[in-house]
Amino acid sequence: MPTSDRDARSSLVWFRRDLRVRDNPALLAALEEGTTTALFVVDPALWAGSGPARRAWLAANVLALAERIPLTIHHGDPREVVPRVAAGRRVHVAAETTPYGRRRDEAVGREVELVATGSPYAVGPGLVRNGSGGPYQVFSAFARAWREHGWPEPAPTPRSPAIEPGQSDPRALGLLEDAVAGAPFDLPPAGEDAAWRRWRAFRDAGLHDYDVARDRPHHDGTSRLSPYLHLGVLHPRSLLAEVAHTSTYATELAWREFYADVLWHAPGSAWADLRPALAGMRYDDPEDAVEAWRTGTTGYPVVDAGMRQLLHTGWMHNRVRMITASFLTKDLHVWWPVGARHFLDLLIDGDVASNNHGWQWVAGTGTDASPYFRVFNPVTQGLKFDPDGDYVRRWVPELAHLPGRVAHEPWRSDVGHEHDYPVRIVDHAEERREALERYQAARR
């Protein structure tokens, strides 16, 4: 409760996955109360569980926000830090919808008055319901209802937000600065202005042929906004205001909303099969093969190109995410959380809802799952979506000497392995048969 007249007119806004000033309803709600303190807390539980690229990306965007507004930065368990900094003031947030975020906010909410305005989604998870009030199980039905539900216009940008500078914890600042300095590779430019520049460049030059270009991993045909959307440097509502709601781009954003909705209703699906139909499935634990998958040395060019793109940039093209996930689950017969964990360690857009349900879609255990008998063929997929072999040559230098399509089938060339490109670790046709047998047995 407010402790003085001054406190009665001031509040706290706690930034989490909403590192922006534009289109930020929680910030506006805090400012409506008068002066506010803007807080970011480096949470050791999340920090320790992130790899260096993810930490650097988060840190760079927090520091970019701190250049725009006076941001008070602390380190520690938010359950302890937020009540201390709030000192009796009301705390404004955008609702968090992941299992960890919900638990944390419930705990913080027992100590302070927590006011949630908006969420990282155009339509908050849990709000799109079917005729009987339950969640949608299938994406196409969800997307239709999501469009019908609609979303508000972007919130106005505060002109000169009345934010009080606070005392940051030097240790927290040091962690952030060290993380940026320790980035394992060049990250995309951080911050809201960079995110908007990227969006405008894509909107003006890429959106018109997105339907086709988005499936070409070598082509820069997608928006590359996922790392910004993940941290809320940009809100999807701002993008939806600039595209047709029936466009393919809006549909892709709907996938993000769908998976957040699935996780909202079934928090346990973060790390376990959403559908129990394959509970009896037999999985392997082939350590060497999983290591070859992680390091991009499976002998299947498009799989290796994707895994190396991930290692060297913290991002992977969507088509190749599906191919590499299929390879781990169906060619190596590994349970999907093993791969989901690896992706989450490395992806700078790593998002538990989109990632883990993307994995389950491929593995056949999720909502709206691809039929279990659909096994991606890494060679035909490569030839179809990277017909000239450019993507493979870009990421696998051992294949750079192979012209055109040959890069996808080095074993067909006399010189295909002359630069030590590994031989295939498994025979796809055999493993496909094996996967189908296991799926059929599990379903019985």
Ligand X SMILES: Cc1cc2nc3c(=O)[nH]c(=O)nc-3n(C[C@H](O)[C@H](O)[C@H](O)COP(=O)(O)OP(=O)(O)OC[C@H]3O[C@@H](n4cnc5c(N)ncnc54)[C@H](O)[C@@H]3O)c2cc1C
Rounded to a whole number of angstroms, the minimum distance from the CB of residue 325 to ligand X is: 4
Rounded to a whole number of angstroms, the minimum distance from the CB of residue 198 to ligand X is: 9
Which one of the spans 40-48, 84-92, 320-328, 400-408 is the region binding ligand X (CB under 6 A)? 320-328
Q: Number of residues in contact with ligand X, rule: CB under 6 A?
A: 27
Which one of the spans 48-56, 224-232, 305-313, 392-400 is the region binding ligand X (CB under 6 A)? 224-232
Coil vs helix vs strand at 75: strand
Cα of 430 vs its chain's centroid, Å: 33
Query: Is residue 269 near ligand X by the rule CB under 6 A?
Result: no
121-124-129 Cα angle (round to 5) = 130
Rounded to a whole number of angstroms, the minimum distance from the CB of residue 318 to ligand X is: 3
Shorter beta-carbon distance to ligand X: residue 13 or 239: 239
Query: Is residue 235 near ligand X by the rule CB under 6 A?
Result: no
Residue selected from 322, 323, 334, 375 as contacting ligand X according to rule CB under 6 A: 322
Query: Is residue 318 near ligand X by the rule CB under 6 A?
Result: yes
Query: Is residue 259 near ligand X by the rule CB under 6 A?
Result: yes
Residue 8 burial (C-beta neighbours within 10 Å; 0-12, 13-18, 19+):
middle
Rounded to a whole number of angstroms, the minimum distance from the CB of residue 278 to ligand X is: 17
Distance CA 310, CA 305 (A): 9
Query: Is residue 230 near ligand X by the rule CB under 6 A?
Result: yes
Which one of the spans 19-27, 74-82, 219-227, 274-282 is the region binding ligand X (CB under 6 A)? 219-227
Coil vs helix vs strand at 14: strand
Report the DSSP beta bridge partners of residue 91.
12, 114
Residue selected from 75, 214, 237, 333 as contacting ligand X according to rule CB under 6 A: 214
Question: Is the Cα dihedral 190, 196, 197, 203 positive or negative?
Answer: positive
Rounded to a whole number of angstroms, the minimum distance from the CB of residue 200 to ligand X is: 14
Query: Is residue 139 near ligand X by the rule CB under 6 A?
Result: no
Cα of 6 vs its chain's centroid, Å: 40
Query: Is residue 225 near ligand X by the rule CB under 6 A?
Result: yes
Distance CA 52, CA 181 (A): 10
Distance CA 299, CA 402 (A): 14
Query: Is residue 224 near ligand X by the rule CB under 6 A?
Result: yes
Residue 419 burial (C-beta neighbours within 10 Å; 0-12, 13-18, 19+):
middle
Shorter beta-carbon distance to ligand X: residue 41 or 344: 344
Residue selected from 90, 104, 198, 321 as contacting ligand X according to rule CB under 6 A: 321
Query: Is residue 413 near ligand X by the rule CB under 6 A?
Result: no
Residue selected from 235, 256, 308, 428 as contacting ligand X according to rule CB under 6 A: 256
Question: Is the Cα dihedral 348, 349, 352, 357 positive or negative?
Answer: negative
Query: Is residue 223 near ligand X by the rule CB under 6 A?
Result: yes
Coil vs helix vs strand at 274: coil
Query: Is residue 260 near ligand X by the rule CB under 6 A?
Result: no
Residue selected from 325, 346, 399, 425 as contacting ligand X according to rule CB under 6 A: 325
Give residue 186's region: left, alpha or beta (phi > 0; psi -120 to 50).
beta
Distance CA 362, CA 325 (A): 7
Distance CA 131, CA 121 (A): 22
Query: Is residue 329 near ligand X by the rule CB under 6 A?
Result: no
Residue selected from 351, 368, 386, 398 as contacting ligand X according to rule CB under 6 A: 351
Residue with tokens 């990632």: 355
Residue selected from 36, 50, 119, 226 as contacting ligand X according to rule CB under 6 A: 226
Rounded to a whole number of angstroms, the minimum distance from the CB of residue 255 to ligand X is: 4
DSSP characters over 395-437 = H-GGGTTS-GGGGG-GGGSTTTTTT-PPPPSS-HHHHHHHHHH
Question: Is the Cα dihedral 74, 80, 82, 85 positive or negative?
Answer: negative
Residue selected from 99, 118, 191, 350 as contacting ligand X according to rule CB under 6 A: 350
Residue selected from 66, 71, 143, 253 as contacting ligand X according to rule CB under 6 A: 253
- Tokens representing residue 105 in the block: 């906010």
Element (H, E) at 114: strand 114-116
Which one of the spans 7-15, 65-73, 283-291, 351-359 is the region binding ligand X (CB under 6 A)? 351-359
Question: Is the Cα dihedral 329, 97, 265, 44 positive or negative?
Answer: positive
Residues at the contact surface with ligand X, assessed by CB under 6 A: 214, 222-226, 229-230, 252-253, 255-256, 259, 318, 321-322, 325, 343, 347, 349-351, 354-355, 358-359, 362
